[in-house]
């Protein structure tokens, strides 16, 4: 890191506040970034990280506060101002036009022209120089749609280099990358840091912070909590800064006596991914379903929820055989599914919080085809308070919420149907440690009320910490059941990989 005690910060954001109506998303936030450092920005989902960065990128205008670049006041009221200041924000969702070539994306809005039209030859050549600087293994004339997510990120970084950006903001850049792609990205980020670029890195993954960060700043509830230099970075300390309390036991799992049988599955298959699956879930149980990616876990959930149809086997609900043709049938029997991909399979991103929460209960609460708005509002308000969804009111559009708040909205929708069986597919994927704790508490409360919970998760600590029993899948088969003192990561992985166990 090129920072010294007497060095002037490249960027200073001082006393930043952002208000939406009467709701403050940010208050009195301070952030300073130095040339040649990787500065991590952490906080729970909804803490204000994205809002602060959107102010820096010109997508939002600040309500009060000031911004300085190289010690000089600088007004950022549009994305053009941010580009002029040498700031580029790479969003978690790639912001490229897939039908255009790489060089067309890099020069989009800043095309080079001659008297005869676009100077495509020069743009292609200049774009290739930026790609070569990054060590990219593709060409500037290729269509963006032909590239992997990791390669598309390189296109966005190449665009920043061409614009001579000095500050690069990366928001959860590894969310869709493989471990190999992540390693390459980290090497590139360190290379840019060593060349003098200032990088603001947003992540909730502790391992990434340890690997990359020269400093870490933490936001909580829209306010600046503090910063740590590399030598001070410690997971327990960061967690306490993010959630405002020591997190000595993230799961707080309580042992709840199992009740009557809710679900029994016998030799269930879909003819493709699920093969002869058999298991039982009882009232008040949290059952973990583990296995490697592609083992058939989500496909099994889809069979139980009526998304797809079994080719053989039987499903019993409270002792009676059932067959769901559609998810609507499952909902009518008070079965809920929190899908793995909340944005594509769960939420209506263009709708508000109220409509998303009440979507599953519209038919139940309607009278003579008229939606009961009063009851729906009570349900939405109760969910916002109970799960601490950070919104000023239920009229906020869901697409603009953080990942953790979006997940809570989706959980609230299914909680409203008073489920007897709740299937949670990766319930804490993409959410921070504070939101995870709240989701675990909600699961425990539902179990106390007698709800049977099937939790699919790729996070082994989550499986071990929350499950009463664990079923492990391998290549479509349920290959083992663990319970009580036998639930540990080593035995789960041994079963998932097909290794011999004692």
Which among 3, 30, 37, 31 is positioned nearest to 214, based on CA atoms?
37
Task: Please answer whether residues 111 and 118 qualify as being in contact, where contact means their C-beta atoms are separated by less than 8 angstroms.
Answer: yes
- Strands 167-171, 23-33: pairing kind: unpaired
Structure tokens at 299: 């496909």
> What pLDDT shows up at residue 502?
47
8 Å CB contact between 277 and 264? no
Helix (H, G, I), strand (E, B) or coil at 323: coil
Q: What is the pLDDT of residue 4?
A: 45
CA 141 to chain centre: 32
DSSP type of residue 143: B
Q: From the CB of residue 275, how many other CB atoms can be counted at a distance below 10 Å? A: 19
Q: Can you count the helices (H) and strands (E) in the chain?
A: 18, 22
CA-closest candidate to residue 407, choices 440, 367, 452: 440
What DSSP line would sit under 155-177, residue for residue? HHHHHHHHTT-SEEEEESTTTT-
Distance CA 209, CA 459 (A): 19
pLDDT, position 5: 47
Q: Residue 24 forms beta bridges with which residues?
A: 19
Q: Architecture of domain 11-243 in CATH?
A: 3-Layer(aba) Sandwich (3.40)
State how far the Cα of 138 lies from the Cα of 45, in Å rounded to an integer.
Answer: 35
Res 105: pLDDT: 92
Same CATH fold assignment for domains 11-243 and 251-334+419-502: yes
Which helix H or strand E contains 227, and what residues bound it? strand 223-229
Three-class secondary structure of residue 124 per DSSP = helix
- How do the domains of the chain map onto residue ranges? 11-243, 251-334+419-502, 349-418
Of 371, 372, 401, which Cα lies nearest the Cα of 387? Answer: 401
Closest CA to 258 of 291, 227, 285: 285
Residue of 145, 190, 184, 188 whose CA lies nearest to 37? 190
Nearest-angstrom CA–CA distance, 95 and 281: 43
CB hemisphere CA count around 125 (13 angstroms):
5
Angle between helices 403-415 and 373-386 (to 10 degrees): 130
Q: Could you list the mean pLDDT of each consecutive 10-residue stretch along the chain, which spans 502 residues?
A: 65 93 88 95 81 92 94 92 91 84 90 89 92 88 90 88 89 79 88 93 85 93 91 82 64 86 94 92 94 86 91 93 90 87 74 75 59 67 71 77 78 81 87 78 90 90 90 91 86 76 48
Cα–Cα distance, 252 to 141 (Å, whole number)? 54
Place of tokens 């998304």: 307
What pLDDT shows up at residue 332? 87
Distance CA(204)–CA(45), nearest Å, equals: 9
Burial class (CB in 10 A: 0-12, 13-18, 19+), 190: middle
Architecture of the domain spanning 251-334+419-502: 3-Layer(aba) Sandwich (3.40)
d(CA 398, CA 208): 28
For 258, phi then psi, to 5°, come to -70, 140
User: 61-91 burial, b for 16+ CB within 10 Å, e for fewer?
Assistant: ebeebebbbeeeebebeebebbbebbbbbbb
What tokens were used for 183? 């390693």
């Amino acid at each position: 890191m090129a920072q010294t005690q007497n060095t002037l910060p490249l960027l200073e954001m001082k006393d930043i506040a952002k208000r939406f109506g009467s709701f403050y998303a940010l208050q009195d936030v301070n952030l300073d970034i130095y040339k040649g450092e990787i500065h991590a920005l952490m906080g729970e989902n909804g803490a204000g990280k994205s809002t602060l960065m959107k102010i820096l990128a010109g997508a939002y205008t600040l309500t009060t506060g000031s911004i300085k670049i190289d010690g000089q006041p600088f007004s950022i009221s549009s994305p053009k101002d941010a580009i002029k200041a040498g700031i580029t924000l790479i969003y978690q969702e790639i912001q490229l036009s897939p039908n255009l070539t790489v060089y067309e994306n890099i020069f989009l809005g800043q095309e080079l022209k001659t008297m005869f039209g676009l100077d495509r030859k020069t743009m292609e050549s200049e774009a290739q120089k930026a790609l070569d600087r990054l060590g990219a293994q593709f060409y500037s004339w290729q269509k963006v749609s032909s590239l992997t997510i990791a390669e598309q990120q390189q296109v966005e970084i190449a665009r920043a280099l061409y614009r001579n950006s000095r500050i690069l903001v990366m928001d959860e850049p590894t969310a869709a990358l493989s471990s190999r792609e992540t390693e390459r990205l980290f090497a590139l980020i360190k290379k840019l840091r060593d060349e003098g670029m200032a990088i603001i890195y947003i992540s909730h993954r502790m391992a990434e912070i340890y690997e990359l960060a020269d400093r870490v700043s933490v936001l909580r509830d829209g306010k600046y909590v503090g910063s740590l230099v590399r030598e001070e970075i410690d997971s327990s300390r960061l967690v306490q800064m993010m959630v405002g309390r020591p997190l000595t036991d993230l799961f707080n799992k309580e042992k709840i006596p199992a009740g009557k049988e809710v679900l029994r599955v016998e030799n269930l298959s879909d003819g493709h991914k699920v093969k002869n699956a058999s298991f039982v879930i009882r009232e008040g149980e949290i059952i973990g379903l583990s296995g490697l990616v592609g083992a058939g876990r989500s496909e099994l959930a889809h069979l139980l929820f009526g998304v797809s149809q079994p080719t053989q086997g039987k499903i019993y609900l409270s002792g009676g055989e059932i067959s769901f043709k559609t998810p609507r049938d499952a909902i009518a029997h008070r079965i809920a599914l929190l899908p793995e991909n909340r944005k594509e399979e769960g939420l209506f991103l263009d709708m508000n919080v109220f409509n998303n929460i009440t979507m599953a209960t519209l038919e139940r609460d309607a009278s003579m085809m008229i939606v009961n708005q009063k009851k729906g509002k009570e349900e939405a308000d109760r969910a916002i308070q109970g799960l601490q969804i950070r919104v000023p009111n239920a009229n906020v559009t869901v697409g603009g919420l953080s990942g953790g708040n979006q997940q809570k909205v989706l959980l609230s929708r299914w909680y409203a149907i008073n489920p007897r069986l709740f299937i949670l597919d990766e319930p804490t994927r993409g959410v921070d440690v504070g939101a995870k704790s709240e989701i675990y508490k909600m699961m425990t409360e539902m179990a106390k009320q007698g709800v049977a919970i099937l939790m699919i998760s790729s996070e082994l600590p989550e499986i071990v910490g929350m499950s009463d029993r664990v079923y492990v899948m391998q290549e479509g088969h349920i290959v083992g059941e663990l319970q009580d003192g036998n639930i540990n990561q080593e035995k789960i992985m041994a079963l998932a990989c097909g290794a011999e166990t004692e």
